[in-house]
Structure 1
């Protein structure tokens, strides 16, 4: 993957909802993936100007190939938090997106890690090359 370029990072604010809480009274581990996916969906449109719907119109979809989550400290009901994401690497087969989830009140990292995404042809469901114009567009 191309590691020579520097990519932008973007931040989205969210709030912990009651249905995010597990039996231990903090956010369930699976919700952190949801938070990152929701932030990326919003940031693709708002910050990159290339919403998921535009990919779908072209017959493409993004799927998670691998993920790593590093839990640091819990988020609790009602906490406001920021999800900061940014492309770390991108090439014709996919991209790695790094993320950090930070509690707004304490400014402490609650979770960080990365997602590896692959692009697929929605007709076949198989991996395909990312169009060069998309790679160029995302190098902001």
Structure 2
């Protein structure tokens, strides 16, 4: 598993709210996409796991907004796993605008693997746990 993953995204008009910047919920959507794509890059087959009755579920989001994203901005959503436990992982994100070297938001999410048939968290299987790589040092913004 690559320890750091970058999702590239260009802000579209339909992501802009009444205050003429990106709506807060979009930031969370981008982190979900980055987590999905990072997991897929490791061989995690979400569709197959859903058929078996398993999926990742958010237990907690923590978001610190620092600057607004605007229509047309080219963003990088950088993600990595910062902690892994038998029943959960903590994933961190930097939402960045490389054009002016701005970190727009810092996010962390606690994820659990759930048996969706009984709606309960389960321990991570060894093969999933072992594939997760935690970076040796805290990742920097994409322009560093």
- What's the TM-score, normalizing by structure 2? 0.86
Structure 2 residues without counterparts, runs of 5 or longer: 135-144
> Which of 11, 14, 17 is matched with 2:9 structurally?
14
Q: Distance in 1 between matches of 2:79 and 2:114?
A: 21
Structure 1 residues 50-81: Cα deviation after superposition (integer angstroms, max 9, x where no partner):
23224324431111000100001000001110
Structure 1 residues without counterparts, runs of 5 or longer: 1-6
For residue 124 of structure 2, what is the aligned residue in structure 1? 130
- Matching of residues 91-110 of structure 1 within 5 Å: 91-110=85-104
Structure 1 residues 14-70: Cα deviation after superposition (integer angstroms, max 9, x where no partner):
011111101111001111000100111122113x22232243244311110001000
For residue 87 of structure 1, what is the aligned residue in structure 2? 81
Q: Distance in 2 between matches of 1:138 and 1:102?
A: 24
For residue 55 of structure 1, what is the aligned residue in structure 2? 49
For residue 66 of structure 1, what is the aligned residue in structure 2? 60
Q: Distance in 2 between matches of 1:53 and 1:28?
A: 29
Q: Distance in 2 between matches of 1:44 and 1:53?
A: 12
